[in-house]
Amino acid sequence: MNTYRGSPSLYAEQRYWNTLTPPDQTLHIAKALAVAHPKWIFGGLVAASAYGFEHQWCLHDGSVSVMTQNHGSEQRHSQLRRVYMPQASSLAVHDSTSGLLLMPPAHTLIECARTYDFRFALPFFDSAFAKGVSTEQILTACSTLRTDCTPVFRLLQHTNPHSENGGESLMRGTIYEEQFVMPQIQVPVKDPQTGAAYRVDFVWRLNDGRIVVAEYDGTEKYVNPNMTDNRSIQQVVAKERERDAGLQRAGANEVVHLTFSEVYEKTPLRIKLLKAGIPLRGDGA
């Protein structure tokens, strides 16, 4: 039996709970709380999960954000985060899919920007913009809030709806945090020998004429049958080497591969990019 620490009255059958993704677990917690508190308005990870905004599952620690119009409301449970929002009831939207009262997408993004480091907040923004959220909506929301929106403005400068997934967004955010020159993303490339068309994750065209490509290699690339076409790991690796050769024939001087753990830990990413000659911002590149 799995018991929710934010409320001793909530529990789930362990085997069923273990089949849920972290976003679904968070939504289950919110839905259970909403049964007892139907007027509660959820924000943060709950709203982001309900809207389908991509993000890293490691952010889910069992906590949920509930908006309150009472300043200084009592924080009775460590995993129940109360966020002061005097306009919450007038802003709340009913999400027909989850059945929850949520903060609007723009306000959800603002809360995520103020809660998480830049590199973890960027995937929310990239994904939300790909779904139709606009800069104007977020700036309008910021104008109504008495809060520091500096983290929001910085994220808006680097949001790119063309990012293919949350892992690539995290990698781009980490590249920025580590002070590297920012790359182009999702660049189309054609192998001149085979005619094969590729779209590479990150490309740097350096001042010395070199072209460096970086690819984000998520774990699913090797284990998810939907992504491997049921090929073996050996076949996937062989295909990757064939792709790398094609990129080099198309002009790439070096192809760097980075896994989630290398991006998450930051130091391996920094070492690989420095070894590939990627300059830091301010190095004259």
In the sheet that 254-259 helps form, which strands lie side by side, from edge to edge? 184-190, 197-205, 211-217, 254-259
Tell me: pLDDT of 2 over 90: no
According to the model, what pLDDT value does residue 225 have? 45
According to the model, what pLDDT value does residue 236 have? 66
Q: Summarize the confidence of residues 58-85 as an average pLDDT.
A: 79
Of residues 148, 68, 88, 85, the one with CA closest to residue 113? 148
Q: Summarize the confidence of residues 96-106 as an average pLDDT.
A: 96
According to the model, what pLDDT value does residue 5 have? 54
Q: 204 and 137, same structural domain?
A: no
Q: 141 and 36, same structural domain?
A: yes
Q: What's the whole-model pTM score?
A: 0.88
According to the model, what pLDDT value does residue 38 have? 94
Tell me: pLDDT of 15 over 80: yes
Residue 223, domain extent: 171-275
Tell me: pLDDT of 84 over 50: yes
Measured distance CA(191)–CA(198) in Å, rounded: 8
CATH of the domain at 238: 3.40.1350
Show which of 137, 160, 183 is a domain's final residue. Answer: 160
Position 284 in a domain: no
> Which of the four pLDDT bands, split at 50, 70 and 90, describes residue 70?
confident
Measured distance CA(106)–CA(155) in Å, rounded: 13
Show which of 130, 160, 190 is a domain's final residue. Answer: 160
Residue type, 229: D
CB 122, CB 170: distance < 8 Å: yes
Position 283 in a domain: no
Tell me: pLDDT of 251 over 50: yes
Position 281 in a domain: no
Q: Summarize the confidence of residues 119-130 as an average pLDDT.
A: 98
Q: 202 and 238, same structural domain?
A: yes
Position 49 in a domain: yes
Exposure string for 217-241, b = 16+ CB within 10 A, e = fewer: bbeebbeeeeebeeeeeeebeeebe
Burial class of residue 140 in the structure, from the number of CB atoms within 10 Å of its CB (0-12 exposed, 13-18 middle, 19+ buried): exposed
Round the average pLDDT of the chain to a whole number and report it.
Answer: 89
Which 3 state secondary structure label does DSSP give 199?
strand
According to the model, what pLDDT value does residue 81 have? 87
Measured distance CA(213)–CA(247) in Å, rounded: 8
